[in-house]
Amino acid sequence: MKVDILAIAAHPDDIELSCSGTIMKQIELGKTVAIVDLTKGELGTRGSAELRMKEANEAGKVMGIHARENLGLADGFFTGSEAEIKLLASLIRKYQPEIVLANAMNDRHPDHGRAGKFISDTCFYSGLRKIETSIDGKAQEAWRPKVIYHYIQDYYHQPDFVVDITPFMERKMNAIKAFGSQFYDPNSKEPKSPISGEDFFDFIKGRAMQYGRLINSQYGEGFTVERPLGVSDLSNFK
């Protein structure tokens, strides 16, 4: 199944927090989108790996994505080894995306920055035909995405571009809240975490408003790039 966009994340809920508005906007524009989560988030303070998988499925339904897979790497301890690179490359080759969305290269959670580099490196290696991968015993052809965009999550980064997600902000919050084990629940008996308070939702909306203001819209999601973007029309900007 070839898709237009493959969004890859260290943990289930990274995508929802960072770029779900952009994904929903692209789907409405007719693009196909798949998600690959590298780990099951089993080291999270609250919930469990099994519950996170169910929540990820529900969040996917809210976003309307076309496929979602979990690589099953070790939360907190994936290293970008040869075996891990080949495993992720096999999915990049399976979905053959033109665009890859990846974690920020530097963020509060160490997994995020490590994932950002791991994803970027693997996109390069995936394009080398002498690296052999297969799915269901069938050899795959090399594939390298055209571009990688890094979504911004916890730490503030000056964005290279911002996507207006104003019509999708409510659905973005619903996708985030699908991860009920992770975020605010007044009836939860789980330990508190930096993201479990009700005020964390205010942070999410505040960040979206901050980026939206930069492009004269109500809500936005910011991204950084690895190389300059090519422009064919100087007037086609918000």
Q: Each residue of 60-80: pLDDT tens digit?
A: 999 999 999 999 999 999 999
Going by CATH, does the domain composed of 5-225 fall within 3.20.20.100? no
What are the respective helix, strand and coil percentages of the chain, to the nearest 5? 35, 20, 45
Q: Each residue of 191-203: pLDDT tens digit?
A: 999 999 999 999 9
220-225/147-151 β-pairing: antiparallel
Domain ranges of the chain: 5-225
64-68, 172-176, 185-189: least confident range? 185-189
- ∠ CA 211-214-216, nearest 5°, is 110
Amino acid of residue 166: T
pLDDT at 176 > cutoff 80: yes
